[in-house]
Amino acid sequence: MSKVKVSAFSVSLDGFGAGPLQDRDNPLGVRGLELHSWFFKTAVFQKMHNAGEGSQGVDNDFAVRSFENVGAWILGRNMFGPVRGAWEDDSWKGWWGDEPPYHVPVFVLTHYARELLPMKGGTTFYFVTGGIEAALKQAKNAAGGRDVRIGGGVSTIRQYLTAGQIDEMHLAFSPVLLGDGENFFAGIHLPRLGFTPVETVAGEGATHVVLRKS
């Protein structure tokens, strides 16, 4: 059965999913990259960037799982790029170079229309101005029965959570204290939303918790 899920989303021990002051130099906020150090070391990430073999183990197993059965992604605009306001032109094509790591349709939430953007490797970015429900409907249609992965950032995931649209979340708790940034849990009542922890596994660089809606 198709699911709407969050996978391999890194959170600090004090509950932040991104650091403060996001910009082109700090796309995940100041110190935000520290949250993802567990992922950067894995064989999945290294292969994705042609950077060597990378590590095996629990962290890599969860990284592998995060890409399984994904037929479409949804991203907030900040996850696509640092450009604010109306698109001045089509020169910004994302953080990932000519071949993004998605290889399926990706739906980007934005207030400003832009033509679809086909990239190498099967990724096509669609820019959705109709809000989270419109993006999810398009993503489910594009996924063809496979899962839709909500890739972030924090604000986007929180919107889908409060709308009751997420079925499962895999959060990777990194041993990092940020002290500031985008708080993932503030005002979110996960038990009331129906979530229960179903799996907790200590990895090499993070503790992996899977929560599922009952």
Calculate mean pLDDT across residues 5-30: 93
Calculate mean pLDDT across residues 96-114: 95
What is the Cβ-side half-sphere exposure of residue 105, based on CA atoms within 13 angstroms? 20
Secondary structure, 3-state, 49-99: CCCCCCECCHHHHHHHHHHCCEEEEEEEHHHHCCCCCCCCCCCCCCCCCCC
Identify the pLDDT of residue 23.
83
Identify the pLDDT of residue 25.
85
Listed in sequence order, the residues at least 6 apart from 9 whose beta carbon sits closer than 8 Å to its beta carbon are: 17, 152, 157, 169, 170, 171, 172
Identify the pLDDT of residue 88.
86
pLDDT 10s digits, 146-168: 999 999 999 999 999 999 999 99
Q: Would you place residue 52 in the very low, low, confident or very high pLDDT band (cuts 50, 70, 90)? A: confident
Alpha carbon 36 to its chain centroid, in Å, reads 12
Q: State yes or no: pLDDT of 1 exceeds 80.
A: no
Identify the pLDDT of residue 83.
81
Q: State yes or no: pLDDT of 207 exceeds 90.
A: yes
Question: Residue 106 phi/psi, 5° resolution?
Answer: -125, 130
Task: Give the global pTM.
Answer: 0.95
Listed in sequence order, the residues at least 6 apart from 25 whose beta carbon sits closer than 8 Å to its beta carbon are: none
Q: State yes or no: pLDDT of 104 exceeds 80.
A: yes
Of the listed ranges 36-40, 77-81, 132-136, the least confidently predicted one is 77-81
H or E element that contains 140 = helix 132-143
Give the separation between CA 12 and CA 133, rounded to whole angstroms: 28
* Domains of the chain and CATH, by start: 4-82+98-206 (3.40.430.10)
Identify the pLDDT of residue 56.
96
Percent of the chain surpassing pLDDT 90: 86
Listed in sequence order, the residues at least 6 apart from 86 whose beta carbon sits closer than 8 Å to its beta carbon are: 112
Q: Which two tokens stand for residue 145?
A: 């029965």
